[in-house]
A and B are shown apart, each in its own frame.
Chain A
Amino acid sequence: MGALEAIGIGGLAVLFGLLALRMPVGLAMVAVGIGGNYALSLAAPYLRFGPYLDQFKTLLWGTVANYDLSVVPLFVLMGYLASEANLSRDLFRGVNALFGRMRGGVAMAAVGACAGFGAVCGSSLATASTMGRVALPELRRLDYHPRLATGSLAAGGVLGILIPPSVALVIYAIIVEASIIDMFQAAVIPGAVAVLFFMAVIALTVRLKPSMAPAAVAMEPAARRAALLRLIPVLTIFAAIIVGLGLGLFTPTPAAAVGVFAVLAYGLVLRAFGDGLTGAGIVRALKDSAVTSGMIYFILFGAEVLKGFFTRAGLPEALAEWASVTGMDAWLVLIAVLALLILLGCFMDSLSMILVVVPFLWPTLVAINGGDYAVAETAAFGMATTDLKIWFGILALVVVELGLITPPVGMNVFIISALAHDVPMKEIFRGVLPFFGVEILRVALLLAFPALTLALPQLLSG
């Protein structure tokens, strides 16, 4: 390994050190990028530092002036508007009117609503907190066991990342230069599998231990009708976006913009009936999405700076060469990478993790697979690199989210615990455990059967 690569590895270590000292993620990435480039200029005089700094004249603007990325603030805004217009509540009540008649049905409704809302809002934490606020009081009122109630909500929050339109999918696609539409299509089946698994966990739990959930009570017919009526517009808006993007009928930015427009219009219509969006609600939604989108853009800029450093240090090539020289088993490397992501997921939020880790892991996997133009017959993973890109992305996103429900940190669990003061944290983690189990099963299935991920994009692209 040469001096430059050593500086690259050192930079990576410094980065994780700074993160542990609670430096904001975006700042840490920029600082290591600039500092690392300075170190490189000392080691190799031809990598001059002055010209490097001149990049910053246009780098920030160039990062944010990106048509594909415009989908991020738009979806974030749509999520907050939907939440302010109480669409999350309508979604939960409506799904509950559909499922509520089974034992455990309200918990299933909560999972279903989490999946729907999480898909649209794109943040697991926001989903857990929004749906927790909506569904938790209802579950407690009906005398659901606290473990089941809190566990389903904390776990339900992770469902959104794979169901299109997910902000994380967009960002992964942009980093590895995959088609956003392909990623959305690939995510449909794995996402649906997760929803089914979660519902099965609840059904099984109440079958084995009926005391976990109350016997279902039929809703008042009038209330049920009202709930179903309110579900229709929400479902129409959300389903149009999810299905349209999933099938590739329209591209992300128009979908997001039309989504914002539809939620805004519907919220204002509801206003006439004393519900829906108020002026103050719109301002709150704008402010909240400013915080979320500002954070995402700062990290994206950090990733851009960091990438410049790693590339100049030759780190991706060095890692790839190392991987091919040591001749490690491809699958072993992949499983080690996924395990590393689960571990990191316990400490970092998923977006920063994707942006920190994927830029240097991805070239390594490409090299192991046999390069950019590997064909399925000779590739180490038995698939072309274009397919590997999609398959690995889905796997990575699934495991990244697992960290949100893994002790000791588990951000989703913290959020639910803040809403349910009387339920001890240990109890929530115990409630999450069966969901964690089926998530591991899902990762195993996705690993064993790449077709689950790849069939739909291949089918739809013809």
Chain B
Amino acid sequence: MQQALHRAAAAWAILGGVLLFAIVGVTVTNVAAFTLDRIAGLVGRDVTGLPGYEDFVRLAVSSAALMLFPYCQARRGHVAVDILAETVMPRRLQRVLDTLWQLLIVALAVFLAWKMTLGMLETYADHALSRVLGWPVWPFYLPGIGSLVLWAAVALADVRPGRVEA
């Protein structure tokens, strides 16, 4: 179960990475169009950039960013301050605390998933649209909500010690 969740988290993060590549592709196209426009301007022609480019980046990165969370959890990548724990704190206390923090992460992820779902429903009811492109905003909440659920699942599966390679 743990292993399967870690694999899912890794695949989900790579999907987020592919979204980042999409941002790269759109941005490079946009930059190229602006450059061409400058050149074409010399001979009196117009090449237009992509309208609503910043809008697209904003929406895409909102999904991509949250899709990285579960895998970061699987690799225990969320930074903490080690100094006290590694020097003076007894091993057992350390383990108890680590378990406690892990459970708090689960609680936080579930809480955020629940609130964000409510947020999505409101955004849907309000027909909120992105500023320039006019795309509905609510579908972009979905990958985020999925990420939070997966985040909670990964953290919960990792509560019991016993490490799995991510």
Contact = CB atoms under 8 A, between A and B. Distances in A.
A27 B119 contact: no
Interface in B75-132: 75, 77-85, 89, 94, 97-98, 101, 104-105, 108, 111-112, 115-116, 118-119, 122-123
B78 A70 contact: no
Interface string A47-67: 000000110111011001111
A254 B119 contact: no
Nearest to B93: A21
Interface in B1-39: 10, 13-14, 16-18, 20-21, 23-25, 27-28, 30-31
B54 interface: yes
Contacts of B119: 56-58, 61
A179 B165 CA distance: 41
Contact of A20 (B64, B69, B84): B84
Nearest to B166: A287
B65 A297 contact: yes
Given A23-B101, A73-B20, A297-B69, A258 B81 contact: no
Given A23-B101, A67-B58, A61 B77 contact: no
Contacts of B150: none
Contacts of B85: 21-22
B72 A22 contact: no
Contacts of B116: 56-57, 60-61
Contacts of B72: 290-291, 293-295, 298
B61 interface: yes
A66 B105 contact: no
Given A290-B71, A291-B71, A22 B101 contact: yes
Contacts of A21: 84-85, 89, 97
B76 to A, nearest CB: 9
Contacts of A322: none
A291 B75 contact: yes
Contacts of A398: none
Secondary structure at the B interface, as helix, strand, loop or mixed, is: helix
Contacts of A57: 115-116, 118-119, 122
A349 to B, nearest CB: 6
Contacts of B82: 22
Contact of B27 (A31, A54, A254): A254
Given A64-B66, A65-B61, A298-B72, A24 B13 contact: no
Secondary structure at the A interface, as helix, strand, loop or mixed, is: helix
B135 interface: no
A326 to B, nearest CB: 30
A78 to B, nearest CB: 9
A349 B83 CA distance: 12
Contact of A24 (B24, B66, B105): B105
Contact of B17 (A26, A289, A346): A289
B57 A294 contact: no
Contact of B83 (A65, A66, A73, A347): A347
B66 A73 contact: no
A58 B28 CA distance: 30
A149 B45 CA distance: 57
Interface residues of B, number: 58
B139 to A, nearest CB: 12
Interface string A266-288: 00000000000000000100110
Contact of A283 (B14, B54, B64, B104): B14
Nearest to A55: B115
Contacts of A258: 27-28, 31
A264 B25 CA distance: 12
B24 A31 contact: no
A294 B9 CA distance: 12
B144 A30 contact: no
A19 B79 CA distance: 10
B144 A64 contact: yes
Nearest to B64: A73
A348 interface: yes
Contact of A60 (B23, B66, B84, B123): B66
Interface in B127-156: 140-141, 144
Contact of A25 (B14, B20, B78): B78
Given A60-B112, A64-B144, A257-B28, A69 B77 contact: no
A24 B78 contact: yes
Contacts of A231: none
16 contacts: A23-B104, A24-B78, A24-B101, A26-B79, A27-B101, A56-B115, A57-B115, A57-B118, A61-B140, A65-B58, A73-B61, A286-B18, A290-B72, A291-B68, A294-B13, A347-B83
Interface of B: 10, 13-14, 16-18, 20-21, 23-25, 27-28, 30-31, 54, 57-59, 61-62, 64-66, 68-69, 71-73, 75, 77-85, 89, 94, 97-98, 101, 104-105, 108, 111-112, 115-116, 118-119, 122-123, 140-141, 144
Given A22-B80, A74-B24, A297-B65, 11 more contacts: A22-B81, A24-B79, A56-B112, A58-B119, A67-B54, A73-B65, A77-B17, A261-B25, A261-B28, A294-B71, A295-B79
Q: Which 4 A-B pairs have the closest CB atoms?
A: A294-B72, A57-B119, A257-B27, A65-B62
